[in-house]
Chains A and B, each alone.
Chain A
Amino acid sequence: MSTLDKPRTHEGRIVRRPGPRESAPEAAHRRRRTLEVSLAVAVPLVLVLLWQLAASRQWIDERVYPAPSAIVADGWERAAEGELWPDVWATLRRVLAGYALGTASGYLLGLLMGALPLVRAALEPILDALYVVPKLALLPIFLNMFGLGEGPQVALVAATVFFFVWISTMAAVLAVPDGHRDAGRVFGANRRQMFRHVLLPASLPAVLVGARIAAGVAVLVIVASESIAASDGLGHLIFDSRALFQNDVMFVGIVCVAVLGVLFSELVRVAGRLLTPWAPRDRGRGQS
């Protein structure tokens, strides 16, 4: 940041002195990164310590809000005894299957609707109408369609992910500048080449942003769904332990969901970076 000095002469000249960002940009950037990382680590850490303190001093009711140490100990014990993994795996399996189906179908339909105005005219109204329906409201329909088991859970995740990816893909294809298309035409690109060398690379970064948002929402929706109609999974673990008044187990489930959501979202971000090296670099959350 530069600073302005008060005029020292009668002529009223303004003297602009370079700030640290201009005079030592690398050091300023390092300091900024250190500050950001410190905040990112310290704030959650202090909040957890405060929670621990509040529980151990009985400022809060530890029976209702177990201490972080109790949650970690219980989670560790469950993991070591193998009780936790079946639920983690069940949720992960449903998320991955639903996410793959939803992403693939959303991407294909988004490309088609972005590239072909007639397809867009035919399908956009109905998809817009379905988009606003809370996806959890579709669970009873999926239960009727697929019965009990994995089908309804996977279908619900797929339906949720589909809309995020479909909208971002269609919008990304429509937003490809005319100049890019003109350049393709000038080089004599046919339809397939236009798609492969112009539309796909130009739209993919925006598509991956939609896919990354969908990754978080997929975890969110599967937890809600498992709480209603599943006999395993992290959502079932959370709500079952809540019904049994096992609050420490409930918090273990919540922490697992949070970790799963962060890891899955980060995985999609890293995959996106590898798939689109030409796109502006997204260095992760909370980084300027």
Chain B
Amino acid sequence: MRSCCPALARPAALVPALALTLALTLAGCAAEQPGLDTAGRDITPVAGCGDRAWTDPGDLGADRSPARCAPRAPAPRKLSKTRKLTLATSTLTAEYVAPLRIAIGKGEFRKEGLDVDLKVLPTPDALPLLAKGEIDALWAAPEAAVVNGINSGFDIRWVAGNFSPHPTSKSGLWVRLRKGENAAKVPLEGRKIGTLIGKGSVISYPMDTVLAEHGAAMDSLTFQQLGSSDVLTAFTSGAVDAAWLLDPVWRQVDKDGRYAFLGGQPAGEPLGGALFGPNLLSADVDAGVALLRGYIRTINTYFRGDYKKDRAFVAELAKAMKQDPDVVTAVPSLRMDWEIRKGTTDRLQKAYRDAGVTEGKPVPEAQLVDRRLYAEAVGHKP
């Protein structure tokens, strides 16, 4: 019998035809990778931003005062055409994101001609979108994922810092003390640590430092990744021996003799902030500078010094963060800091390598960090 459909009788002929059709369809998905264009831009002095608007990146002093301009400086320089920007952040309730929310609420970005849309997106999901230009900036940190992404060729740079903790903050590594132990010397080897975020987070760096002080290494402990509400429960119930407790969770175990605070994020060294993709590093650098100018102006105007002393602002902050004002004031003010310290990415990468979450050669700081955009915003010629 002769078949009505010869192709069906010969599947070997059908399959390449299907493959060719798919290949032709996929051919349209090819994307070009533009280069960066933040070098060689004119930087002019900015009113209200003097010598104190820039600190030496090599100054790692814990008591360093973060760079500041006068309140309401740098003044807005509205873009000729309103630009819509999409920013991603993994949370809207964390205090380090508050400057963005306040800037949006106070119209600081609008004054720059920017229409900023904040989207909640976990960093691993946001990273490919940032690299492809689907989103313009990511409010996160140079985590191991970012290093791996840049290592594999993505045009992403860490362009601004966010904060360093207040000297009285005890957000960091807490341990359950065993008999005869004290905070000065706790043998941590072989213990189980509960964390909200994994080894690829920037907390690997301070954790690596704290562990080294107590004679342990990252690979000598077991890490248990837990949900935000489970970390404290697991720690206090004894399911884990130590935990990295964030603001304001550490308050629950503070002044309890059974637990000891071993250390946290280094003072004066921001470990996160703004990450830009090709849109703001190449296609529209003016918009990138405008975004940072609005952010820096917000810090200079609303987040100076101990900003939580101002009860009216705390109420505003609590509303922006969708938190109770008591929760906001339960922990000290952060030191908002838009600058990036020299060598932070090297130290982060060392911790990532110790934790075994990055591969290959370390990425040089020049390929991870770009300080030129915030330098331009405050009128500092490096």
B-binding residues in A (CB < 8 A): 1, 3, 19-20, 35, 38-39, 42-43, 46-47, 49-50, 53-54, 57-61, 63-64, 143, 147-148, 228-229, 231, 240, 242-246
Do residues A147 and B239 form an inter-chain contact, with CB atoms below 8 A? yes
Contact A54–B26 (Cβ < 8 Å):
yes
Contact (Cβ within 8 A) B1 A20: yes
> Do B16 and A46 touch across chains, with their CB atoms under 8 A apart?
yes
Interface set of B (CB-CB < 8 Å, partner A): 1, 11-12, 15-16, 18-19, 22-23, 26-27, 29-31, 122-124, 127-128, 131-132, 144-146, 148-149, 152-154, 192, 198, 200, 222-227, 230, 234, 239-240, 357-359
Partner of B145, one of A42, A49, A54, A243: A243
Report B153 CB to chain A, min CB distance, Å.
6
Contacts between chains A and B (CB distance < 8 A), count: 84
Given contacts A43-B15, A231-B222, 11 further A-B contacts (CB under 8 A): A50-B23, A50-B26, A54-B26, A59-B30, A61-B132, A148-B192, A231-B223, A240-B198, A243-B124, A245-B146, A246-B148
- Give which listed residue, A38, A143, A231, A246, contacts B230 with CB less than 8 A: A143
A60 to B132, CA, bound (A): 12
Q: List, in ascending order, chain B residues with CB within 8 A of A20's CB.
A: 1
Q: Which of A53, A59, A244 contacts B29 (CB 8 A)?
A: A59
B226 touches which one: A19, A38, A229, A240 (CB < 8 A)? A229
State how many angstroms separate the Cβ of A63 from the closest Cβ of chain B: 5
Residues of A within 8 A of B145 (CB): 243-245
Report the minimum CB–CB distance from B367 to chain A (whole Å).
15
Given contacts A46-B15, A242-B124, A246-B148, contact A19 B30 (CB under 8 A): no
Assess whether B19 is in contact with A50, with CB atoms less than 8 Å apart.
yes
Instruction: Check A39–B200 contact: CB distance below 8 A.
Output: no
CB-defined contacts of B222 to chain A, threshold 8 Å:
231
Q: Are A245's CB and B127's CB within 8 A?
A: yes
A38 in contact with B124 (CB, 8 Å): no
Task: Contact check, A231 vs B224: say whether CB atoms are below 8 A apart.
Answer: yes
Report whether B15 and A42 are in contact in the complex, using a CB–CB cutoff of 8 Å. yes
A59-B29, A60-B29 are known contacts. Are A19 and B22 too (CB-CB below 8 A)?
Answer: no
